[in-house]
Structure 1
Amino acid sequence: MRGTRVDRRTFGRLIGAAGAGTLTGGALAAAPVRAAAPTWKTSGTTVTALKSFDDTMKSFMQARNISAGQLAVTHQGRLVLARGYSYSDDPAQTVAPTSLFRIASLSKSVTAAALARLAQDGAVALGTPVASLLDLTPPAGRTADPRLSRVTLWHLLQHTGGWDRTLAFDPNFADRTISQALGVPMELYPADVIRYMSGQPLQHDPGTTVAYSNFGYQLAGRVIEAVSGLPYATYVQQKLFAPLGISRMAQGWSIAPHSGEVHYRSQYTGPTVLNGTGATVAAPYGTFSMRLQDANGGWIASAVDLVRWASAFDAAGPVLNSTSLGRVWATPAGIGVNPSGWYYGLGWRVRPVTTGGTGRNTWHTGSLPGTYSLVVRTYQGRSWAVLFNQRDDASALSYDDIDSLLWAASAKVTAWPTGNLYPTYF
């Protein structure tokens, strides 16, 4: 993914994903798959006018044998659909509208908003160089790239910091390499990754090329801690989630689930990065470290939480004022809109809409072993969030198709409900 010369579908498959082999430092072995016949179950209020969404989720999940899914839909600021879906051979499994899923790179909108809020409060300027806020001293025997001193907070949040995993590697999934280079044990801490990367070269001059960077968002999380004086998650929960009434969202764990969290599935296994034993584990449970994902992909949430979160970007409110929203939707300086008609703002992909209306469509996808997620905000005043407990690791059927399918489901609605389900869940 070099510069802005990547189409929407390709970027969608790359965004938030590292590739199965990269995640474990080598090839992943296929895990056994149970063959018992699954049954279909739903939860939440059935809304006849929105049957097209239920039908889409059922056909999509059954075609891919997805055992747990969730969908929430809003219209003009009202929650009109909140559903859990189960397609499982376990008769005890029920996915509720408030069940929790790892959301992977949907977390980036949270981290970007946190820095925008700190700038709004006068605690930091987004043009501040990262090196003036964090210790970026390289390991002994390594030299910092002189361009590192020019990387700003804007660059981190718009993926223009100069790191390019397609030309090098993604350090958030290079646990063994970093452990061996620094002589530190696994499980790694973010500080280990930052120290290692402080001695690695950039692939581009800062501010010249859009190249998706999980590491940039990991740095952003540490900046939030340095500026606010609070742990990353604490700042987010106090300043961003609490004003919106969001209390379920939390940082996910590598192994033990939170109460109400779904089980993640993958056909793959691989060696753990949670210690140095090299033990083989299921891909979602230890082939990557949730500790390293915190600011770039570490949150868990329900779909209703995510559309509530997305509502913070509809208009100035208790989280972000109009100046901050302008920063969120700003195009990367000197780069602008790419040839496919969209750009990366602060934690969101943005497509300006000028034909048949004005405004913007904004969205983000997320992907980890055992996780696929998508949030969409439309210029017509609708939004939806969809979550699954597995991803298309080697499936012939793309999970990216859920994007166009949900747009099609929305287009089939002839009369939108007038009620509001938000009071049921908040």
Structure 2
Amino acid sequence: MPAPTLTPEVVAAAAAVAADWIEFRRRRLDIPGVQFAVRLNDDLVHSSAHGHADREGDVALTPEHVFRVASHSKTFTATAVLRLAEQDRLRLDDTLATHVPWVAEEDAELARASLRELLGHAAGLTRDGLDGDFWQLEHGFLDVDGLRTAVRSGGSVIPRSSRFKYSNIGYSLLGLVVEAVTGTPYGEFVASELVAPLGLTRTTPDLPAAGDLVTGYTPASIGPRRPLPHPSTAGMAAATGFCSTAEDLTAWFSAHRHGRTELLSEHAKRLAQRAEWPTEGTDRSYGLGFIGEKIGARQLVGHSGGFPGHITKSLLDPESGLAVSVLTNSVDGPASELAVGVVKLVDLFLAEWGTGEPTADLNAFCGRWANLWGPQDVVRAGSALISFDPDTADPAANPVTFDVLDGQTLKVVRDGGFGSFGEDWTLGRRADGTPTLRGHSGITMVPLDRYAPV
């Protein structure tokens, strides 16, 4: 039996519920701001912003604010290299020294690394060099001379093509390859060849940003949150320099779905997105510039990004055209948790979506309810109702579903077994007019904004 097909209606409903969950998690975890967008087959289905772009200035976050999206940059760099390969301007089995000759003077083994090994993080190269304190803003990101020093002082670490070994230095060197082949600065080339044709008006390869930058913040685990400055990434832009928005990033990844060929051919996209290497200890893999990740039955690709004050994550299902991007402006921002949770909520809605006219007013049951044990959301999926705990990293992990018996009564038809399977949840009202929902374990819930402990 074929899998059900995603529709804009299902995705929009799931995304709206996901936005409420994201806002709950943002407040719960004290994350300054979260920007969130969803596309389906290139169409923007949802875009929202939650919290602050700048706490000190009390600036509300909007979908137009720009984030530092860090290693998302690698997807742009890999696309540029693959595009040049398709144009016969380079070959993926070219050695690095073919295009960046000085590498041979500093590290003979790295000089023999192929572009494909660099794209797949298999060149055995140092991650960030011996001095990576630019990541905590103690000094500037590396320029070309700094990259050369990093290569000279400890470039090759393990044998080439022996395992996956992530390297920002490697992708920075790929930026130099793009410059050598095109005769154009990396930033100018990707802006004109990749960014502009897609109309990504809020996306730049580095500073200056094309819009107001959000303020990034330190993690809550090391003391009160402090705002962080915005440095240029100098010679490391190809690895970590990009600035963008959730809307632009979903458009960028949508251009890599099946059927879109204005950036890369279907063959080149397969090269980029196939599992080149497993990432040990996880269920993820790495292709050529794209992380592969399985969520439920979906095989997704995308990338995460970590920059001082910014944690970001984007996912694409190349087959269905579902694209999700979540951007946060703190070092401890749960962008990956939130992006994965959105995909799981979309699939939950797809599985449970009810069609036809409901026999009762379903909206009367919907909302964020609470009792002493915490909150519980009841939401609509078409003509069906679903309940889940919003105070969790995975809201779709253990949902409750119902049959609607009448305008005041639901029967639990699915839960994990520890709940109230087969029992009724009933609407009521207190003497002061407060709505109630008597649910799990027969415990009364009221709207969260009206809950007060005994």
Q: Of the candidates 75, 97, 120, which is equivalent to residue 63 of structure 2?
A: 97
Residue aligning to 1:76: 41
The aligned runs of 1:4-403 (5 Å cut-off) are: 50-87=15-52, 92-137=58-103, 144-165=106-127, 170=129, 173-174=132-133, 188-253=142-207, 259-267=211-219, 284-285=228-229, 290-314=233-257, 315-332=259-276, 340-351=282-293, 360-378=299-317, 379-392=319-332, 400-403=336-339
1:347 corresponds to which letter in structure 2? G
CA distance in 2, matches of 1:98, 1:63: 24
Residue aligning to 2:432: none
Flag the 1:137–1:237 CA change in 2: closer, same or farther, 3 A: closer
CA distance in 2, matches of 1:175, 1:401: 26
**Structure 1 stretch 127-136 or stretch 376-385: which is displaced more?**
376-385
How many angstroms does 1:342 deviate by? 3.7
What SS class does the counterpart of residue 313 from structure 1 fall into? coil
What SS class does the counterpart of residue 37 from structure 2 fall into? strand
Residue pair 1:194, 1:219 contacting (<8 A) in 2 also: no
How many angstroms does 1:175 deviate by? 5.7
CA distance in 2, matches of 1:91, 1:201: 43
CA distance in 2, matches of 1:291, 1:412: 43
1:60 corresponds to which letter in structure 2? R
1:250 corresponds to which letter in structure 2? T
Residue aligning to 1:420: none
Residue pair 1:56, 1:406 contacting (<8 A) in 2 also: no
Residue aligning to 2:438: none
What SS class does the counterpart of residue 251 from structure 1 fall into? coil
Residue pair 2:126, 2:155 contacting (<8 A) in 1 also: no
Taking only aligned residues, the RMSD between alpha carbons, in angstroms, comes to 3.5
Q: Of the candidates 341, 344, 351, which is equivalent to residue 408 of structure 1?
A: 344
- Structure having greater relative contact order (Cα 8 Å, sep ≥ 6): 1
* Identity over aligned pairs, percent: 23
What SS class does the counterpart of residue 215 from structure 1 fall into? helix
Flag the 1:116–1:405 CA change in 2: closer, same or farther, 3 A: same
CA distance in 2, matches of 1:122, 1:107: 23
Give CA deviations for 1:271-296 in whole Å, capped at 9, x if unaligned. Answer: xxxxxxxxxxx67327x752243011
Flag the 1:296–1:240 CA change in 2: closer, same or farther, 3 A: same
How many angstroms does 1:406 deviate by? 1.9
**Structure 1 stretch 189-198 or stretch 58-67: which is displaced more?**
189-198
How many angstroms does 1:312 deviate by? 1.6
How many angstroms does 1:204 deviate by? 1.3
What SS class does the counterpart of residue 72 from structure 2 fall into? helix
Residue aligning to 1:182: none
CA distance in 1, matches of 2:42, 2:29: 32
CA distance in 2, matches of 1:115, 1:157: 9
How many angstroms does 1:89 deviate by? 5.3
CA distance in 2, matches of 1:195, 1:297: 19
What SS class does the counterpart of residue 159 from structure 1 fall into? coil
TM-score (norm 1): 0.69
What SS class does the counterpart of residue 387 from structure 1 fall into? strand
What SS class does the counterpart of residue 31 from structure 2 fall into? coil
What are structure 1's unaligned runs of at least 5 residues? 1-46, 180-184, 271-281, 418-426
Residue pair 1:171, 1:197 contacting (<8 A) in 2 also: no
Residue pair 1:336, 1:343 contacting (<8 A) in 2 also: yes
Residue pair 2:314, 2:339 contacting (<8 A) in 1 also: no
Residue pair 1:157, 1:217 contacting (<8 A) in 2 also: yes
Whichever structure has more strand as a proportion of its residues is 2
TM-score (norm 2): 0.65
CA distance in 2, matches of 1:172, 1:237: 30
CA distance in 1, matches of 2:279, 2:216: 36
Give CA deviations for 1:215-260 in whole Å, capped at 9, x if unaligned. Answer: 000000010001011111111111112221222211334xx86532
Residue pair 1:119, 1:126 contacting (<8 A) in 2 also: yes
